[in-house]
Amino acid sequence: MNARVEPQLLSQLSNRHLDALEEEAIFVLREVAGAFERPTLLFSGGKDSLVLLKCAEKAFGAGRIPYPLLMIDTGHNFPEVTDFRDYRAKQLGAELVVRSVEDSMQRGTVRLAHPGESRNVHQSVTLLEAIEEFRFDALIGGARRDEEKARAKERIFSHRDSFGQWQPKAQRPELWTLFNTRIHPGEHFRVFPISNWTELDVWQYIEREQIELPSIYYAHQREVVERKGLLVPVTQLTPPREGEQVVTRTVRFRTVGDITCTCPVASPAANATEVVAETITADVSERGATRMDDKTSDASMEKRKKDGYF
Amino acid sequence: MNASVSPAVLAAVQDEEHAAALRFITCGSVDDGKSTLIGRLLVDSQAVLQDQLAGVQRAGATDLALLTDGLSAEREQGITIDVAYRYFATAGRKFIIGDAPGHEQYTRNMVTAASSADAAVVLVDATKLRWADAGLALLPQTRRHSLLVHLLRVPSVVFAINKLDAVEQPELAFRNIAGALATFCEAAGITARAVVPISALEGFNVVQPTPGWAGYTGASLLQVLESLPAAAAETAQAFALPVQWVEKFSGSADTSQGRRVFWGRVATGTVKPGQPVRVMPSGQTAVVAQVLDTVRRPRDVAAGHSAGIVLDREVDVSRGDWLLAPEAPEAVREVSGTIAWLDDEPLVAGRAYWALHGHRWVKAKVRRVVHRLDIHTLAEEDATQLERNAIGHVELVLQEPLATRPYTQARRPGSLVLVDTASHRTAGAVLVR
């Protein structure tokens, strides 16, 4: 991660705008609680969902979050993250619902093209099954508009039809803060309270609020192979290919998700302050640096969202 | 229309009013170069990362517009369909851009972006005008977008005259177009914060000033944006708060401070302990015992911010109710307002819709369409229905009274949306008169 920005920017960096972002997130979280009958908060144990949970704690008071937490488990998660997820949910006394892609595969609703296929895209099926099972009418997620072009176009309250599909051409106008939350049976909303936050905002907030994170977000030693400009972690699910050399590097994760498509970046940043400094000078986007599955086409996220992806 | 920004104004970037992110929209006709301008702002302020830049290289050249047109349908058609939100920051400020579509067909998305904007940059394409003519006519879409952002009370309007690199005499063109804008703004009652000559393609006056180019020595567009205030909160009005969320303490041992907290964002005025309130619609009265801010510290809270209110006695208050100062205007059953119609199905006089005001849903019947406004001039014409993207003047009869105020006095009490009862689509944006 090469420096592009003058170092003095760090000392000038204001975090006062975080108050307005936090306030907007809290406003949206309360609106969901008031407007829907069966909302849930998608909680993976990742940094964005931990930020969301912090805002929810502030919105309702610790221990009073009025909706369950939901995790769609691909079975390919980093144990440090799932352990942290369970620890945090227990600490808050929140109800945690976990539904797994593995179960969908047993039911036959998810079929993999080959055993090594990424399960990331198949989460949509399991998610829609969970929505049907619990009749959820609003799913709160930590997606941000700065992550990806299709996300940049999505409303804060995003209407989904009974197939969970996003209709980009028929989005509801979002006027002032008057959110039209009316739905027909079977439809639901995806709600993104931290839409307007950037990766830097998230890290500044983590630093300011001293939010605890899974250890792999900070520098650690890890065996990786270099593949197409990415550092691919060596795991049981992602073994080295023939001829590839395994090296141990000091890395951290900028984003965590399915093991089969999430890569760490080389970094010595050992705490939130150091990550903030590094994020200011990053010259590759969060997804560009870390995701193996987003590069297939410009419109891959848009297509997946139309299929019900988060 | 003074285009220059003094150092004192730039220094003001550090004060509280400027600490909040500035939300601005870009508007103008199709092909005026909005997406290119945003691409230029992002690239020149170093907000675009290498992998994103690599994604918009075509045949060795960088197509800046591709940075924002992210949907496949947009790339197919080469136009912007929906608002894209983009983020960048300078040393002094964070910016949120709503890249609004220029195409008339997608006006509803432009209205969406404008309703929450602190500022609007109206792009004017110099190459489409008879720039050598001192009495030149502006494009209808420039007039229309300017009138829309004015109608929606976007606090600051800035004009950026683009593509001046592509005309023979940029200085003359800038002078004549700026003159035409001044005449138009005066007639329409619009106060322009600045008129900046730019070339989005070449980067002139976008991020760095290009002194002397087109005879202009003022601030760059970005410097102007850095100096603009975020929308001023409506603190001078009587206190009003729509109740968003009722927190019950039934499971808590702490009953010392009343039994319930009423959370909501203060719409107008300021609230502190001792403030007498009237509950709408029940009409009951009480006095504020305690005020909490977002993070539950006791503090007076002003318009624009969330407050948690504990009352001195038990009164019936639910989500959707309003807490009002006694001097606030009475709630009304009849409302007249300007409406922007957004749905594919036309608005029909006599039909009932859902109306959302604050957090309260009531049925609203359109008693009559008073006028349709000529979208280019805002002159009034007779009409019985309003088609998609039309703007008009309607009278509504409400099922229950609402605590509205004129939009020109207070935006939150003065705005409501109409929702189709069958399709649930958001159909209309109403600005109360």
pLDDT, tens digit (0-9, with 9 covering 90-100), for A272-302: 999 999 988 777 777 666 666 544 444 566 6
The verdict on A105 touching B (C-beta cutoff 8 Å) is no
The verdict on B426 touching A (C-beta cutoff 8 Å) is yes
Question: pLDDT higher for A179 or A172?
Answer: A179
A-chain residues near B55 (CB < 8 A) = 298
Tell me what pLDDT residue B288 has. Answer: 97
Which of A254-268, B49-63, B67-81, B208-222 is least confident? B67-81
Query: What band does B99 get if pLDDT is binned at 50, 70 and 90?
Result: confident
Tell me what pLDDT residue B5 has. Answer: 35
| H or E element at residue B143 | helix B140-151
Tell me what pLDDT residue B16 has. Answer: 53
The mean pLDDT value of chain B amounts to: 86
Both B312 and B286 in a single domain? yes
At B211, which CATH number? 3.40.50.300
Which of A35-39, A149-153, B184-188, B342-346 is least confident? A149-153
Structure tokens at B25: 């929209």
CA distance B106 to A54: 37
Both B251 and B314 in a single domain? yes
Tell me what pLDDT residue B197 has. Answer: 98
Chain segment A213-252, per-residue pLDDT in tens: 999 999 999 999 999 888 999 988 889 999 999 999 999 9
Does B1 reside within a domain?
A: no
CA distance A237 to A242: 15
Chain segment B228-265, per-residue pLDDT in tens: 988 888 888 999 999 999 998 655 555 555 579 999 99
B-chain residues near A146 (CB < 8 A) = 86-87
Structure tokens at B99: 């890249």
- Domain coordinates of chain A in residue numbers? 7-205+298-307, 215-281
Summarize the confidence of residues B293-312 as an average pLDDT.
93
Q: Do A16 and B247 touch (CB under 8 A)?
A: no
Tell me what pLDDT residue A237 has. Answer: 86
Question: Total domain count for chain B?
Answer: 3
At B280, which CATH number? 2.40.30.10
The mean pLDDT value of chain A amounts to: 87
CA distance B219 to B206: 9
Question: pLDDT higher for B105 or A97?
Answer: A97
DSSP lists the bridge partners of residue A73 as A100
The verdict on B424 touching A (C-beta cutoff 8 Å) is yes
Tell me what pLDDT residue A254 has. Answer: 92
Min distance A12 CA to chain B CA atoms (Å): 7
Residue of A nearest to B154 (CA): A176
Does B15 reside within a domain?
A: no
Both B116 and B85 in a single domain? yes
Min distance A258 CA to chain B CA atoms (Å): 22
Which of A2-11, A169-178, B55-64 is least confident? A2-11
Chain segment A19-68, per-residue pLDDT in tens: 999 999 999 999 999 999 999 999 999 999 999 999 999 999 877 899 99
Of A34, A174, A303, the CB nearest to B112: A174
Summarize the confidence of residues B383-389 as an average pLDDT.
91
Both B135 and B253 in a single domain? no
Strand B332-341 versus strand B301-302 pairing type: unpaired
**Number of neighbouring beta carbons within 10 Å of residue A20:** 18
Helix boundaries (H) for B47-127: 50-54, 72-77, 107-115
- The domain A7-205+298-307 is classified under which CATH number: 3.40.50.620, 2.102.10.10, 3.40.350.10, 3.40.50.720? 3.40.50.620
Query: What band does B383 get if pLDDT is binned at 50, 70 and 90?
Result: very high
* Amino acid residing at A21: L
CB B404 within 8 A of CB B414: yes
Summarize the confidence of residues A247-267 as an average pLDDT.
91
Tell me what pLDDT residue A297 has. Answer: 45
Chain segment B393-404, per-residue pLDDT in tens: 999 999 999 999
Both B30 and B179 in a single domain? yes
Tell me what pLDDT residue A296 has. Answer: 43
The A residues from 41 to 70 touching B (CB cutoff 8 Å) are 58-61, 64
Both B160 and B180 in a single domain? yes
B-chain residues near A288 (CB < 8 A) = 49-52
Q: Do B71 and A299 touch (CB under 8 A)?
A: yes
Q: Do B71 and A302 touch (CB under 8 A)?
A: yes
The verdict on B257 touching A (C-beta cutoff 8 Å) is no
Of B111, B305, B424, the CB nearest to A184: B424
Both B210 and B238 in a single domain? no
CB B161 within 8 A of CB B69: no
Both B284 and B211 in a single domain? no
Given a cut of 80, is residue B155 above it in pLDDT?
Answer: yes
Chain segment B32-51, per-residue pLDDT in tens: 788 789 888 888 887 766 66
Does B9 reside within a domain?
A: no
DSSP A185: T
Does B378 reside within a domain?
A: yes
- The residue among A141, A147, A135 whose CA lies nearest residue A201 is A147
Given a cut of 80, is residue A7 above it in pLDDT?
Answer: no
Probe site for chain A from B248, B294, B317 (most A CB atoms < 10 A): B294
A-chain residues near B51 (CB < 8 A) = 284-285, 288-289
Does B122 reside within a domain?
A: yes
Of A283, A288, A302, the CB nearest to B72: A302
Domain that holds residue B363: 332-432
The verdict on B244 touching A (C-beta cutoff 8 Å) is yes
- The size of chain A, in residues, is 310
Q: Which of B227, B248, B270 is the last residue of a domain?
A: B227
Does B17 reside within a domain?
A: no
CA distance A99 to A118: 17
Both B363 and B403 in a single domain? yes
Chain segment B326-348, per-residue pLDDT in tens: 999 899 999 999 999 989 999 99
Q: Do B116 and A22 touch (CB under 8 A)?
A: no
B-chain residues near A302 (CB < 8 A) = 70-72
Angle (nearest 5°) at CA B344 between B417 and B367: 50
Query: What band does B11 get if pLDDT is binned at 50, 70 and 90?
Result: very low
Tell me what pLDDT residue A119 has. Answer: 82
Does B408 reside within a domain?
A: yes
Given a cut of 90, is residue B433 above it in pLDDT?
Answer: yes
Q: Which residues, in sequence order, are CB contacts of B30 under 8 Å at separation 6+?
A: B79, B102, B103
Q: Which residues, in sequence order, are CB contacts of B265 under 8 Å at separation 6+?
A: A27, A177, B241, B242, B244, B304, B305, B306, B307, B412
Q: Which of B296, B324, B352 is the last residue of a domain?
A: B324
Both B276 and B336 in a single domain? no
Summarize the confidence of residues A91-103 as an average pLDDT.
93
Q: Which residues, in sequence order, are CB contacts of A113 under 8 Å at separation 6+?
A: none
The B residues from 47 to 66 touching A (CB cutoff 8 Å) are 49-52, 55
Given a cut of 60, is residue A172 above it in pLDDT?
Answer: yes
Number of A/B CB contacts below 8 angstroms equals: 156
Summarize the confidence of residues B290-301 as an average pLDDT.
93
Q: Do A12 and B85 touch (CB under 8 A)?
A: no
- The residue among B294, B237, B411, B2 whose CA lies nearest residue A30 is B294
Share of chain A above pLDDT 70, in %: 88
Summarize the confidence of residues B203-215 as an average pLDDT.
95
Query: What band does B106 get if pLDDT is binned at 50, 70 and 90?
Result: low
Structure tokens at B407: 């939009």
The verdict on A172 touching B (C-beta cutoff 8 Å) is yes
CA distance A232 to B89: 31
Both B173 and B30 in a single domain? yes
- Count helices and strands (H / E) in chain B: 9, 26
Tell me what pLDDT residue B127 has. Answer: 95
- 3-state SS assignment for residue A289: helix
| H or E element at residue A57 | helix A47-60
Q: Which of B324, B342, B364 is the last residue of a domain?
A: B324
Share of chain B above pLDDT 90, in %: 61
Tell me what pLDDT residue B45 has. Answer: 80
Distance, C-alpha B338 to centroid of its chain? 16
Does B10 reside within a domain?
A: no
Min distance A271 CA to chain B CA atoms (Å): 23
Both B250 and B179 in a single domain? no
Residue of A nearest to B89 (CA): A13
Chain segment B59-75, per-residue pLDDT in tens: 666 677 776 655 555 55
Show the beta-strand stretches assigned E in chain A.
39-42, 69-73, 96-100, 138-140, 157-160, 188-191, 220-227, 230-233, 247-252, 265-266
Which of A162-171, B191-200, B255-264 is least confident? B255-264
CA distance A226 to B115: 47
Given a cut of 80, is residue B8 above it in pLDDT?
Answer: no
Structure tokens at B303: 């318009």
C-alpha to C-alpha distances, A17 to A209, A273, B94, B96, B112, nearest whole angstrom: 14, 17, 8, 11, 22
